[in-house]
Structure 1
Amino acid sequence: MNTSSPTAPRSIQIVPSVLPADFARLGEECAALEAAGVDRIQWDVMDGVFVPNLTFGPDVIAACRPHASVMFEAHLMVADPDPMLDAYVGAGCEMLIIHAESITHLHRTLSRVAELGAQAAVAINPSTPIDAVAHVLDLVDMVLVMTVNPGFGGQAYIATMEPKIAALQQLISVNGSAGASGAGIDIEVDGGISAETIGGAAAAGANVLVSGSALYRYEEGLAHGVADLRCRAEAAFRAE
């Protein structure tokens, strides 16, 4: 058990996926998201193998990096992340999210992310039990619980993942894990997060909420959407 001193309370973070953005003007889209008050930006990296879609290579992300100062996280939905780690860190991604299902030697891969100077995180698909990450909590700063099956934006939120989120929070608490940085382990959810679903995810214990299609659908604009999602999450969030 980790016997380090208590960590600071986890705070709500609103993280947009850029999948719904205008790909012809991604740099401007990143700047607009930062101006809207997001906490970081997620890049959904898909290889057409691990998931049935293709998206962003490191050169695209590197081209957008000068347009925003907020943290970039790369969600590597790829069959073989190891050869890509250097390139995505080099492109300006301060956090790499590795799927537990995608790699044989998860401990080694997460350790390599840290060696490259980035924060490491681990993701699990809806059907993957939290046991898959129980023995790497000391290597990560965040665990992502997918609330859709990865591969496409705009999918419906799987509400039955909420007990899984709560169980993960309990696992982290019981283990006393402060994560790789010693500042505590964030719990992120990704998939179907909207004004209607964000409260359930936050009440279960998630503090990092990824929203894509729903955020871009706010008629009042991105800033209003970010503020509304943050308010709803903060009202529901169960920190412990």
Structure 2
Amino acid sequence: MDTRVPTLVASVLPADFSELGQEVQRLEKAGVDRIQWDVMDGRFVPNLTFGPDVISANRPLVSMGFEAHLMVDDPDPMLPRWVQAGCEIIIVHAEATRHLHRTLSVIADLGARAGVALNPATPLEAVTNVLDRVDLLLVMTVNPGFGGQKYLATMERKIAAARAEIDERGLDFELEVDGGIAEATIGAAARAGADVFCAGSALLNGPGSLEDRAAVLRDAAVAGIESR
């Protein structure tokens, strides 16, 4: 039985942007472990969201960690801005980065933890040669760009393959999933091998209190991990 503790990450994409600071504080109070900032440029994905100044303005309001998920073409020129804004983890997409090994090294040199994300159509093999450079691998369980999408259960094979690669090579980094994560899906993602779970709509919307919804997700993730 696997007894590792799951990490619950909140995407603030479905938050009320007019009260973003209060939303971030509510998430911390509810027991969420860190915030994911879905940074979109309107090119890599058909949407526009947060810039570093928005993230920086929210950084003093909470003590939990921030991760920047850069769904942008050519993230390299702005990497320092996200670190300066207060993001401890910087996640770039393998599909958007020309020299991935170098980009991951630059993130580490900036003092942040380096993450790499894979779109659903991108095979795990696209990153196997850089896994010794990462602190986090993010397997997308939807196509990036918009919140509220349906979880792609077919990605569980990729999650399981990533977990096997981590364990067989004796690597030590977080395996995160993002997209359609809810009470009905988080257990399957956990059983497949994920240990970090990013949820947006399932946390910020739905019945009960935010604290209740966070607890339901965490309990379901624990059960999934323990059943491996």
TM beyond 0.5: yes
Select 1:79's aligned residue among 73, 79, 84. 73
Contact persistence 2:4–2:225 (CA under 8 A): no
Distance 2:51 2:5 in 1: 30
Q: State the identity as a percent.
A: 61
The amino acid that maps onto 2:180 is G
Matched residue of 1:122: which SS?
A: strand
135-144 vs 106-115, which moves further: 135-144
The amino acid that maps onto 2:194 is A
For residue 239 of structure 1, report the CA deviation from its aligned partner: 8.8
For residue 138 of structure 1, report the CA deviation from its aligned partner: 1.3
1:224 aligns with 2:218: no
The amino acid that maps onto 1:60 is V
Q: Mark the runs of 5 or more structure 2 residues left unpaired by the alignment.
A: none
Q: After the TM superposition, which residues 43-192 of structure 1 pair with which residues of structure 2 at under 5 Å, given as runs?
A: 43-177=37-171, 184-192=172-180
For residue 154 of structure 1, report the CA deviation from its aligned partner: 0.3
1:42 aligns with 2:30: no
Q: Deviations over 1:213-237 (max 9, x none)?
A: 1112232111111111000010011
Matched residue of 1:143: which SS?
A: strand
Contact persistence 2:74–2:98 (CA under 8 A): no
Computed over aligned residues only, the root mean square deviation of the Cα atoms, in angstroms, reads: 1.4
The amino acid that maps onto 1:215 is L
Q: Deviations over 1:174-197 (max 9, x none)?
A: 1222xxxxxx21110000001111
Which residue pairs with 1:198 in the alignment?
A: 186
Distance 2:27 2:111 in 1: 25
Contact persistence 1:145–1:187 (CA under 8 A): yes
**TM score, norm. by length of structure 1:** 0.92
1:234 aligns with 2:222: yes
Distance 2:159 2:133 in 1: 19
Matched residue of 2:129: which SS?
A: coil
Distance 1:203 1:109 in 2: 31
Q: Mark the runs of 5 or more structure 1 residues left unpaired by the alignment.
A: 1-8, 178-183
Contact persistence 1:41–1:72 (CA under 8 A): yes
Distance 1:213 1:176 in 2: 34
For residue 173 of structure 1, report the CA deviation from its aligned partner: 1.3
Contact persistence 1:14–1:208 (CA under 8 A): yes
Contact persistence 1:198–1:233 (CA under 8 A): yes
Contact persistence 1:20–1:153 (CA under 8 A): yes
